[in-house]
Structure 1
Amino acid sequence: MLELSWPWFLLILPLPFILHFLPKTKVKGDGIWWGNTSQLIHHQGSNVLPRNPTLRYACLALSWFLLVLAIAQPVWLGEPTKVTPSGRDLLIALDLSGSMQVTDMTLNDQPANRLEAAKSVLSDFIKERRGDRIGIIVFGTKAYLQAPLSFDTKTINQLVQETQIGFAGEQTAIGDAIGLGIKRLEDKPSDKKVLILMTDGANTAGRVQPQQAATFAASQNVRIHTIGIGADSMMVQSFFGPKAINPSSDLDETLLKNIAAQTGGEYFRAKSTKDLRAIYQTLDALEPTPAEDIWQRPLTSLFHWLGFGSVAFLALSLLASRQVSLRTRNWRKGDRL
């Protein structure tokens, strides 16, 4: 079914026709003198096509009609589909600090940094969240809401894949991320508030201390599951050859365990992409809260198709005008001969 978001825009459809039929101002000027009327008579009977603006006006009219229709924002409503909400609201806080670029993970047997692994696992997790409302918080030096709580898991997944290291700064504001999560969940029922916090470091920035944020989250019945990401051993090249180091030495596991315990959540340690997948499978088993079914109709915007059509007919009108101009020019050249 077709619907118009701004149907009142159609009121301007007759505007060009009204302007066309308004009384025209008479232009005063010198007349054109034709030196030899026999040439004019001769050319009127020749094979040169007379000027016919019908095609040009038709293309312009169609171009105007499609343009106005596009501005009215038409959308096509698809068939209604039933969504069974679980009643669960999940906020995922994803660390985008500089340390997430450490390449101590693998994807398809190829080296990958921590953020690439996290996004891959999150993508599979979000796709399976039918009936949950999911939102994304990204944090670095500051915390930002990347996507509000929504049933539209496809868009949420796309926004996750668009995140990049350093978008929110190079440091790690864990307390601010928790605080923003509490704010976004404050109007939700107490048994539906879940925040999943994924980080690879310690709190090094922000105005809110993580422990204070966790205490407030517990008072607001927000359950926080924390995930510490990063391998515990990694080979690097040094001046004396290969050397084993701990790339997760900055990970504050004690803090993450305390946050989870204080809010009734769990702490998970992800040393590899395989661990991450297992963790999200565990989180996937959280008991949902039953809720009533809701019906949704997918919306497909037709704006860009109508816009392309308007431009196409405008181009045809210009082409028709050029053909008329060329014929007139050839006719005048023959007149000189």
Structure 2
Amino acid sequence: MNRSHLFLLSFIIFSLWSCNNNDDLNAGVETSATAHLYATSHNGQVRRYDINDAVVTNYAVNSSDIEGFYFSPEDDAFSIVSRSSNQIESYTNISELGAGGTKDPELGLIGTSEFESPRDLAVNGQFFVVSDDTDLDGDEATPEGRLFIYVKTETGFVLRNVLITKFKVWGLEFVGSDLYAAVDETNKIAMYRNFIETHTSNRIITADKIVGFQGLIRSHGLDFDKGTMVLSDIGEAESATDGALHIIQDFESKFSNATNGGFIGIDEQLRISGANTQLGNPVNLVYDKAYNVIFVAEALNNGGRILAFNDATSISGNIAPDLKYDLAGASSVFYFTR
């Protein structure tokens, strides 16, 4: 049995456990030594789903509203972007807490309270970048956003500089040294080359390239792994049924070949959408190439869910998720495996 089949079987088992809460359904199937799916919510929840043994762990954190998450195995710590305190918070010694039930992780590093409406977190080495969609001038006709660049030190997260974007910004993703950002309320993705090294002072910045994606209505989440980019489309914000996922293989080549201000055609993408998908407002996602699966934080359908779709680069259309787990106000996901 290959890795993808093992993963699919493990996910079916985990999905059954989600409905029946029966640990015996695990049957000893493993995807890898560690397979942890982290999820956050606008209710201040941080959860970890262990794919291997179907154990769910809750972490009691200081924040009552979270959007943005990162786990560092080197530090044995996770960092969240708190919308209630408007700061980055890092919690340490996660493995020592064990699994299952509710844990009380130790608050380690924090940043100063700077942003107003944070939406995502992208990490590149010691640099932590937070997107903020605050309308700075109060004029909807002139959208803007901000990117806060923090440096992680031994004592906390130090704000290096703040950049103002010429559009309302949402999701973020590093591909090497380049930063990609979702242009909210459009079907576009912006790219900033050599982001950390190029933009070192407080100023208004212009994207090096902006490309649209045919068939996409309103971009929010994005994640890249080993050549494939996955984008989420929330459609109309009030609709719980019109969300979608766009999968673009050989992404860097296709983005490079597209003209600035142009688009990538629907025939160059796979698209998952329709009533069976249970996608309404997929606000955040993560893609794992090794198991070819997309995990989604779905914010609106049924009040909030965590969904997963297997065989991500070979399927398209109105398909049902392979995993469905209720999480009210779901806001972000992060997958860690080794």
User: TM-score, length-normalised on structure 1?
Assistant: 0.22
Between Structure 1 and Structure 2, which shows a larger proportion of strand residues?
A: 2
Choose between structure 1 and 2 for higher RCO, CA contacts under 8 A separated by at least 6 residues: 1
Between Structure 1 and Structure 2, which shows a larger proportion of helix residues?
A: 1
User: TM-score, length-normalised on structure 2?
Assistant: 0.22
Of structures 1 and 2, the larger Rg is shown by: 1
